[in-house]
Amino acid sequence: MCGIIGCAARRDVADLILGGLRQLEYRGYDSAGLAVIRDGSLVVVRREGRIDNLAGQVKASGVDGHTGIGHTRWATHGAPSEKNAHPHSDGSGNLAVIHNGIIENHEVLRERLKAKGHVFHSETDSEVFPHLVQEHQKTHDLLDAVRLAIQEVRGTYAFVVIDRTQPGRIVGARRDSPLVVGLGKGENYLASDVSALLALTRDVVYLANGDVVELTPDRVRVLDENGADKPLQISRVEWDAEAAAKGGYRHYMLKEIDEQPAVVAKTLQRHLDESSGKARFVLPDAAALEPWLANVDRISITACGTSWHAGLVGKFLIEKRAGIPVDVDYASEFRYRDAVLSKNHLVLAISQSGETLDTLAAIREARARGAKVLSIVNVQGSSLVRDSDGVVLTDAGPEIGVASTKAFTTQLVALQVLSWVLARARGRLDREREAKAVEDLRVLRFKLEECLSRGEEVAKAAELFARAQDFLFLGRGVNYPVALEGALKLKEISYIHAEGYPAGEMKHGPIALIDANMPVVVVATPGRVHEKVLSNMQEVKARGGRIVAVAAADDAAVRKIADFVLPVPVVDEDLSPIVNVVPLQRLAYWVADLRGCDIDKPRNLAKSVTVE
């Protein structure tokens, strides 16, 4: 939530900051702002709404300078207005501050500062911070003033501060909100995530919780929470600028849907060891944890949104293959429900961004209570990677569309691998079966390509049903989470009310909703509950419902009942969620497009949810 960028350079940086903000816009798009220092003056431009509004104003006014910061906001405290847009300033007008996170004790701080004569202009929690820094600057240098100010703040933050009287200098600090340093030639940067920096550099330093950083064009200095200098740990980002670009597509979401064959194959490849001739599943980024996995006797999966849906698929796979009991919790619930954690308990977190605060809070709680944490994560260097005992990295690449697509299918591949590794650790997987499992997964890329080549049916179904007000999505077994995911995709980008349900549960309530106006999307691919699903479809038909079925192209039984079929290639049932979700992602996309929705930036949402 909220995107942050800062740059200290020897050239004008307004364009660079606007470019970075465009890459970060998926983090929030309620308002945007920029501040630059030029000839000893601080110029601040803020606009309600999208970056385009800000860019128009920056261009028209010719604002520029060598030191600058920019912010794109996802509103928490205070309406999405210009007055509440960042950067915020202090009373002296010397400071400009951008913030991502929530200052929980902002009211107490505000009252205290007011009593000292400070005047506030916004409804935000963030505005107290420049005033706090200003107070400390009466006796301290900017860097120390920021260090002292963060000690008074309770909550989460990534702050970036510039001071009109100190051009060429930027100070940043983070706790539980991401902040990464980018290293350039004769210029240095700060940003919420690497996607904003890819056009500038791939050499980065991930800041740890409690770190404070000082940037000039030539120097980066990082201090730990005790104020001691830290050596710079420079990482090279694997992603490139092209991966984060739209590449000729109308929307990131469509590009990301189409990337799925390649990223699914890449994620699998990362987890195969082919050194001995026969490929074996490996967890290269959890090597230290792997021997211990044989002891695991219980697994709690914790995640949010789409990643939680992947977790539900994981439960099916792990219980079936490894025979380990698994429960799946929303991260926001897990943290507060006093889960019973035993000695051999593995907590498995799943997250695209690795920055979702609910998920981070859940695993921190679990680790504090002695559990080991393994995380499936897409973003290297993210907080979840740093805070876990081991990770299973997905290779989705940058996912910019707010609606998650390729992250989901690569998470499912990671869960396939993990379930087999756990099965092997418990003596339930022999070499022959493992080789077959590897082959089945390798073929998936081609099945996905085949699936993506069948676009017309989805587009037709979208046209037929785009004006519906409600949708019901049904699935059973390992495809029940796919029904949930199909419903989530549709509601978040088209704003149509949609519910996902286990098909067998429909008769216990939702069946009352069925009529000719509410399309019922059923995942009805071959598998052990196929006949049951056919019966559930009959129940819908008997009540006048209209059915869109995701099914094998030649499934005559489904065709007989369904009004519309979205054909998918046949794969093993346990792999089928990876294929079956694709037409549902596309259905949501085309329906949203027909309804004129802003697909990559749906209202009220943000890509990475860094507040609780």
Cα–Cα separations (whole angstroms), residue 325 to 218, 314, 315, 358: 54, 11, 8, 23
Residues 552-581 that bind ligand M6R (CB under 6 A): none
DSSP state of 202: S
Per CB under 6 A, does 192 bind ligand M6R? no
Burial class (CB in 10 A: 0-12, 13-18, 19+), 170: buried
Judge contact between 122 and 78, C-beta under 8 A.
Answer: yes
The nearest distance, CB 351 to ligand M6R, in angstroms, is 3
Paired strand residues for 546: 519
Per CB under 6 A, does 134 bind ligand M6R? no
Per CB under 6 A, does 356 bind ligand M6R? yes
Region near ligand M6R per CB under 6 A, out of 168-176, 263-271, 334-342, 397-405: 397-405
The nearest distance, CB 311 to ligand M6R, in angstroms, is 10
Task: Select 169 or 406, whichever has its Cβ closest to ligand M6R.
Answer: 406
Task: Select 486 or 567, whichever has its Cβ closest to ligand M6R.
Answer: 486
Q: From CA 122, how far away is CA 404, in angstroms rounded?
A: 33
For ligand M6R, the binding residue among 86, 609, 610, 611 (CB under 6 A) is 609
The nearest distance, CB 602 to ligand M6R, in angstroms, is 8
Active-site residue, 597 included: no
Per CB under 6 A, does 610 bind ligand M6R? no
Q: From CA 338, how far away is CA 289, in angstroms rounded?
A: 25
The nearest distance, CB 584 to ligand M6R, in angstroms, is 12
Best CA proximity match to 210, nearest among 174, 158, 159: 174
Judge contact between 593 and 600, C-beta under 8 A.
Answer: no
For ligand M6R, the binding residue among 177, 352, 525, 576 (CB under 6 A) is 352
Q: Which amino acid is at 303?
A: A
User: Total binding residues for ligand M6R by CB under 6 A?
Assistant: 17
Residues 322-351 that bind ligand M6R (CB under 6 A): 351
Q: Which amino acid is at 487?
A: A
Tokens 């697909």 correspond to 599
Q: Which is catalytic among the residues 2, 7, 304, 451?
A: 2
Region near ligand M6R per CB under 6 A, out of 68-76, 91-99, 468-476, 604-612: 604-612
**Residue 367 CB: number of other CB atoms within 10 A?**
16
Q: Which amino acid is at 559?
A: R
The nearest distance, CB 478 to ligand M6R, in angstroms, is 19
Per CB under 6 A, does 353 bind ligand M6R? yes
The nearest distance, CB 4 to ligand M6R, in angstroms, is 17
Q: From CA 543, how far away is CA 564, in angstroms rounded?
A: 17
Show the DSSP H helices in 125-210 as ranges: 128-137, 142-152
Burial class (CB in 10 A: 0-12, 13-18, 19+), 144: middle
Active-site residue, 507 included: no
Tokens 């509601």 correspond to 491
Tokens 């929530």 correspond to 102
Residues 492-531 that bind ligand M6R (CB under 6 A): 492
Per CB under 6 A, does 403 bind ligand M6R? yes
Q: Which amino acid is at 169?
A: R
Judge contact between 536 and 503, C-beta under 8 A.
Answer: yes
Q: Is the dihedral of CA 391, 356, 335, 361 positive or negative?
A: positive
Q: From CA 21, how far away is CA 445, in angstroms rounded?
A: 34
For ligand M6R, the binding residue among 306, 416, 494, 585 (CB under 6 A) is 306
The nearest distance, CB 609 to ligand M6R, in angstroms, is 5
The nearest distance, CB 196 to ligand M6R, in angstroms, is 17
The nearest distance, CB 424 to ligand M6R, in angstroms, is 27
Burial class (CB in 10 A: 0-12, 13-18, 19+), 408: buried
Q: Which is catalytic among the residues 255, 315, 372, 607?
A: 607
Per CB under 6 A, does 382 bind ligand M6R? no
Phi-psi region of 28 (alpha: psi -120 to 50; beta: other; left: phi over 0): left
For ligand M6R, the binding residue among 156, 260, 307, 536 (CB under 6 A) is 307
For ligand M6R, the binding residue among 196, 301, 304, 584 (CB under 6 A) is 304
The token pair that represents 218 in the structure block: 């030539």
Region near ligand M6R per CB under 6 A, out of 156-164, 299-307, 458-466, 590-598: 299-307
Instruction: Determine the residue with CB nearest ligand M6R.
Output: 305
**Residue 375 CB: number of other CB atoms within 10 A?**
29
Region near ligand M6R per CB under 6 A, out of 254-262, 352-360, 446-454, 546-554: 352-360
Task: Select 126 or 585, whichever has its Cβ closest to ligand M6R.
Answer: 585
For ligand M6R, the binding residue among 70, 178, 217, 305 (CB under 6 A) is 305
For residue 579, give the H/E element and its range: helix 576-594
Which residues are annotated as catalytic?
2, 607
Residues making contact with ligand M6R (CB under 6 A): 304-307, 351-353, 356, 359, 402-404, 488, 492, 605, 608-609
